[in-house]
Amino acid sequence: MGSWPAARQEFIAICKRAFRLGMQVSTGGNISIRLDQKSFLVKPSGLSLYDLREDHLLVVDPSGRVIKGQGRPTKEMGFHLAIYGVRDDVGAVVHYHPPYATSFAVSGWEIPLRTIHAKRILGRVPIIPLAPEGSETLAKSLKEAFGQPDVRAVLMSCHGIVAAGKELREAENIAELVEETAKIAFLSTLLNKNPWQDLSPTRGSAETPNDLEPS
């Protein structure tokens, strides 16, 4: 949550970071910030994260109607609003198609949490069934998944990832951790005789997920 000018600056900074890190290419992906209980700052449709400017950003109300700015909101606005509706603690939502995490989503597999850090922060990243982009079915599935208060990120089958946080930086950090975790899981299959083994009590401690903390 935050003021319109400060939120716009942070929004653009995160967009540039996500593009630079390869979390999203082309015009896909979308981001939103809860400004207050009645307004949300969102990415417009049809623009890449790299090309986005502050004057491109839109403010919508809880129904998805544009109340500030020119353009059409992302077609995925429905699931952003659904997540906000079920989670009062969420102040920002990001959606990307990063290659490693999306590979798991395409394969229909949950990402094995192979590191202590991922297990502690993420707990679990559930995968939801395939649904059309921008559909009510997709929004409903994400609402149900994020209705669990310990869920911070979700894989969408054959689509990508959604991550949520108290503020935008946290949501971005969670999304990046999901992608790093997927990459580690994929690469470790080259060395591990049991490649999809998750972290278990015999291999490391599994703490309750908490706020993102520095190492």
Structure-model confidence comparison of residues 27 and 146, the more confident one: 146
Question: For 85-112, how does the pLDDT look when each residue is reduced to its tens digit (9 = 90+)?
Answer: 999 999 999 999 999 999 999 999 999 9
Phi first, then psi, for residue 42 (nearest 5°) are -140, 160
Counting residues of the chain whose pLDDT is more than 70, the rounded percentage is 87
Q: How confident is the model at residue 188 (pLDDT cuts 50, 70, 90)?
A: confident
Residue 213 has pLDDT above 50, yes or no: no
Structure-model confidence comparison of residues 189 and 64, the more confident one: 64
In the chain, where does DSSP find H-type helix? 4-20, 77-86, 99-107, 116-122, 136-146, 168-188
Structure-model confidence comparison of residues 192 and 30, the more confident one: 30
**Domain range annotation of the chain:** 4-188
Question: For 6-18, how does the pLDDT look when each residue is reduced to its tens digit (9 = 90+)?
Answer: 888 999 999 999 9
Rounded mean pLDDT, 132-147: 95
Residue 211 has pLDDT above 80, yes or no: no
- Topology of the domain covering 4-188: L-fuculose-1-phosphate Aldolase (3.40.225)
pLDDT at 102: 97
pLDDT at 189: 83
**Edge-first strand listing for the sheet containing 92-96:** 66-68, 58-60, 39-42, 30-36, 92-96, 160-165, 153-156, 127-128
Cα 144 to the chain's mean position, in Å?
15
Mean residue pLDDT of the chain comes to 88
Residue 164 has pLDDT above 50, yes or no: yes
Rounded mean pLDDT, 111-128: 93
Residue 51 has pLDDT above 80, yes or no: yes
Residue 146 has pLDDT above 70, yes or no: yes
Cα 193 to the chain's mean position, in Å?
31
pTM: 0.87
